[in-house]
Amino acid sequence: MKQPARRVTAAMVAEHAGVSTATVSLVANGKSSGRVSKKNEERVLEAIRELGYYVDSIGSSLAKGVSSLVILVAPDISNPFFAKVITGVRSVLGNDYQLLLSVTDAGLSPSAAETRRLLGLRPAGLLVHAPTQEFLDDLAGPLPLVALDAPRIDESIPAVNMDVAQGAEDVVAHFAKLGHTKAAYLDASTGTDTLTVRREAFLAAAQRYGIEVLPSSIDSCMIDVKVASELFEQRWDSWRADGVTALGCATDNHAFGVLHAARKLGLDIPSQLAVAGFDDLPYSATSSPGITSVRLNATEMGRQAALKLREILDGRSPQELQSTLPSSLMVRGSTQPEGAR
Amino acid sequence: MKQPARRVTAAMVAEHAGVSTATVSLVANGKSSGRVSKKNEERVLEAIRELGYYVDSIGSSLAKGVSSLVILVAPDISNPFFAKVITGVRSVLGNDYQLLLSVTDAGLSPSAAETRRLLGLRPAGLLVHAPTQEFLDDLAGPLPLVALDAPRIDESIPAVNMDVAQGAEDVVAHFAKLGHTKAAYLDASTGTDTLTVRREAFLAAAQRYGIEVLPSSIDSCMIDVKVASELFEQRWDSWRADGVTALGCATDNHAFGVLHAARKLGLDIPSQLAVAGFDDLPYSATSSPGITSVRLNATEMGRQAALKLREILDGRSPQELQSTLPSSLMVRGSTQPEGAR
DNA sequence: GCATATTAGTTAAGCGCTTGACGAATCTGC
DNA sequence: GCAGATTCGTCAAGCGCTTAACTAATATGC
C-alpha cells in the first residue's frame, strides 16, 4: 500500500470520513465507546484503512505529555543473557507500549547524561539494567522507573534482583563439599554493583565455609573471553604455588577464558582446578567440560520488572517494591568429573 | 541537581535570561553563530545550566518534522555478534543522533506492522538488520534507510552485506583440501535471506569442488545450541551411513550443538567428522575443539551502514549504494587436529 | 552622508494531536 | 408534555519547539 510522500494526518482522515479530528482521535485511540456512534466509528475506521493512517506519536505525545515508549537502558548487551531479559520484558509490555533499547558504553554503568537526553522523548517509563545509585540520583525527577539487577540501590526505588548471595553460597558450599580449602576469584573490572556483590558474597561465604581466599588470589579483568584467558595464564603459576584448587569466576565468560587457558597450559579441569561461574550462558552447558554455573533467570527478571513498571504506570503502587529472584546452581564437569554425580 | 516536578521549558529559560524563546532555541541548537551576540549566548547558556534545561525532543521533532532518532530494527539480538554491530553503529552516530534498538520477534524477519508504528516517532533514519524484500515493500514511503546483512534485496536500497559466498567457498575448499567428498549441512529455520544465502552458497561451492551433499543431508532447526544438538543426535546415524565426513553449519551456535552431541555420542571431532560454521563468535575460538568458522566483521558492518545512513541524511547520495565486506575463514580444531596446521 | 550590508533579536505561525468544556439531539420517567 | 438524563459530536486551547519573515540597530563602501 504505497503512500504519497505527504504523511496522512488526522485532519485528512476526518475530512474523508466527514467528521471532526476530535472524533478521529477518539476512534484511533479506542476511546470511542459512549462518545462516538457505531455508524461514525465505522466510517472513521474505514477512512483510516483507506488512507493508511497511523497516529503520529510525536503529535500525540506532545498533546498527552507522555509517549508510549518504554526505554530499556543497558550498559552492555553483548552478554547473551541480556536477550532473555528483553524477551521477558516484551512478553509483558505487548502492544501497549513500544520497547526501545538504549545501549550505553559496554561494560560500564549506564550514563546519566546520555539517558537524560532520552527523557526528552517523554518515555512512559524507564527500565534500567545495573544502574549505580549515582546514576539514579543524576537522573532526578520522579519518572516511572524500575531497576534490574541493581542490588545496592536505595530501597525506595522499585527493582528486581537476583539472589546472587544464595548463588555464591551454593558455589562455595559445593567447593567445600568437594574438599577444597583454598580458592581464587577471577573478578570483572566494571563499575557495576552486580559484580561487586558477587565477589563480596563469594568471599563472605568462603569465610563461613572455612575456605581460604588469599587477597592475592583475587584479580579482575574485562568481561571478555580472550582477556580472561590471558589473565589466568599469567596468574596460574602463582595461584598454584599458593595451593589454590578451586576458582570462582564473576561470569561464565571468564570461566570460558579459563577453560581455554587451561587447555593451553595442559591443566586438567576439574581434577587440578575446579571452576565455577555465574550466568549459566547457553554455551556453558555445552562446552567441554560443561561449566558449573549459577543460573539466573533472566527472562523472569525482565518479566517481573516490566510487570512492576506496568503497575506503576497504571497508578497502582507495587505491593513489593523490590523483589529478588532465586538462583540455582548448575553443577557440571568443570567442578566434578562427569559420572561422579 | 534535583528538579521540581514541572518540566523546564524553553520559555522559562527565556524569561530567566531575559530573551525570547527563539534565541533560546538558537543557542540550544548551536545555531547561534551570526544570530546571537556573545553576551546573550552566555546568559542563555547560564540559564540553561541553572535551570537544568534540556531540549524536549517531542516538541522539537514536531516542529522540525523529524527527530534525531536512528532506529536499528533487529529481529534477533541474542546473537553475541549483534553487539558488535551496535558498537560499529554507535562509533559513527556519536552524539548527533540517538540510537535506539527495536527488537522484533527473535529469529524471524523484522515485522513491518511493528516497525510502521515506530515511524510515528519520525526517526531521522532506519537501520534494518536482515530484512526481507517484503518487509521493505510493506514499509513504504521514502525514508532514509540502510539495510544490513540483506543479500537479496532490491538494488536500489542502500545496504551493507557480508561476502558470504566467499566464506562458504572457503569452507568447502578447506573441506576438499582435507579430502572430504561427502558433506551434510545443518541449516537454520528462520525466514531470513541471510541464512538462505549461506546454504545456497555452500551447496553451489560443494558442487564446484566435487563434494556431494545429499538432499537428505540438509536439515534445519532453530538457532539454539540445545535444539541443534538434539537434531544432530537424531541425524547422525543416517548421515554416517551415507558416508558423510564433513558438516557445514549455518551458524556457530549450530556447531556448538553438534560439538555437544558429538561428545555425548562418543564421536571424535574432527577425525570422524569435520565441522565448520559461520559467525566466528567469541566462544568459537575457545571451545574444545575450537570451531572452524567464517569470520564476519560485524563491527565494520555496523560502521559502514551508519556511515551510509549519515551520507543520506546529509543529502549526499552514497557513491556506492550497496557494499560487501570480505569474510575470512578461521581454521580451528573442529576441522583439522591442532598441530597439523 | 546616504544607500546598502550585516548583525542581533523578536514575532508569530504552525507542527499533529488530545481533551475539557460545551451544545444539540434524543431518550426517560411520570 | 416536559425537566432531566443520556448520547453523540464539535470547538478550540493548548503541548514545547523551530524558523521564515520582519524590525531595529549598527557597520560599511563610496
pLDDT band for position B1 (cuts 50, 70, 90): very low
Tell me the nearest-neighbour CA distance from A255 into chain B, angstroms. Answer: 11
pLDDT, position A106: 53
Chain C: bases < 7 Å from a protein Cβ? 7-12, 14-20
Identify the structural domains of chain B with CATH numbers, from first to last: 10-55 (1.10.260.40), 62-161+298-324 (3.40.50.2300), 164-296+329-340 (3.40.50.2300)
Give pTM, 2 decimals: 0.86
Mean pLDDT for all residues in chain A = 89
Mean pLDDT for all residues in chain B = 89
pLDDT, position B23: 95
- Asked whether residue B2 carries a pLDDT value surpassing 90, the answer given is no
pLDDT, position A230: 92
pLDDT, position B273: 96
Residue B186 DSSP code: E
- Asked whether residue A3 carries a pLDDT value surpassing 50, the answer given is no
pLDDT, position B191: 67
Q: What is the pLDDT of residues B294-327, one digit of tens each?
A: 999 999 999 999 999 999 998 888 888 999 999 9
Q: Identify each DSSP E strand in chain B by its residue range.
A: 69-74, 98-103, 125-129, 145-148, 159-162, 182-188, 212-221, 246-249, 274-279, 292-296, 322-325, 327-330
Calculate mean pLDDT across residues B43-58.
93
Nearest CA to B148 out of B121, B173, B130 is that of: B130
What is the C-alpha to C-alpha distance for residues A267 and B262, in angstroms, rounded to an integer?
23
Q: Which residue has the higher pLDDT, B139 or A323?
A: A323
| Strand C nearby residues, CB < 7 A | A 7, 9-11, 21-22, 24-26, 28-29, 31, 53, 55-56, 58-60, 62-64; B 19-23, 26, 34-40, 59, 62-63, 65
Mean pLDDT highest for which of A58-72, A214-228, A274-288?
A58-72
- Asked whether residue B338 carries a pLDDT value surpassing 80, the answer given is no
pLDDT, position B168: 96
Contact between B260 and A142 using a beta-carbon 8 Å cutoff: no
Calculate mean pLDDT across residues B52-71.
93
**Angle CA(A94)–CA(A319)–CA(A149) in degrees, nearest 5?**
65
Tell me the nearest-neighbour CA distance from B331 into chain A, angstroms. Answer: 16
Q: Which of A58, A78, A226 sits opposite B61 (nearest CB)?
A: A58
Mean pLDDT highest for which of B155-169, B207-221, B279-293?
B155-169
Name the residues in B50-109 having a C-beta closer than 7 Å to nucleic acid strand D.
Answer: 53, 55-56, 58-60, 62-64
Interface of B with A in 81-100 (CB under 8 A): 82-84, 86-87, 90, 98-100
Nearest CA to B12 out of B61, B47, B55 is that of: B47
Q: What is the pLDDT of residues A258-308, one digit of tens each?
A: 999 998 899 998 999 999 999 998 888 888 789 999 999 999 999 999 999
Phi-psi region of A282 (alpha: psi -120 to 50; beta: other; left: phi over 0): alpha
Mutate to test the interface with B, among A29, A57, A67 (most CBs of B within 10 A): A57
What is the C-alpha to C-alpha distance for residues A85 and A67, in angstroms, rounded to an integer?
22
What is the C-alpha to C-alpha distance for residues B10 and A331, in angstroms, rounded to an integer?
58
Closest residue to D19 (CA to C1') is B22
Distance D12 C1' – A20 CA (angstroms): 12
Interface of A with B in 104-133 (CB under 8 A): 106, 116-122
- Asked whether residue B140 carries a pLDDT value surpassing 80, the answer given is no
What is the C-alpha to C-alpha distance for residues A116 and B250, in angstroms, rounded to an integer?
41
Contact between B225 and A141 using a beta-carbon 8 Å cutoff: no
Q: Where are the alpha helices (DSSP H) in chain A?
A: 10-17, 21-28, 38-51, 57-64, 81-93, 112-119, 133-139, 164-177, 193-208, 225-241, 252-265, 298-313
- Asked whether residue A161 carries a pLDDT value surpassing 90, the answer given is yes
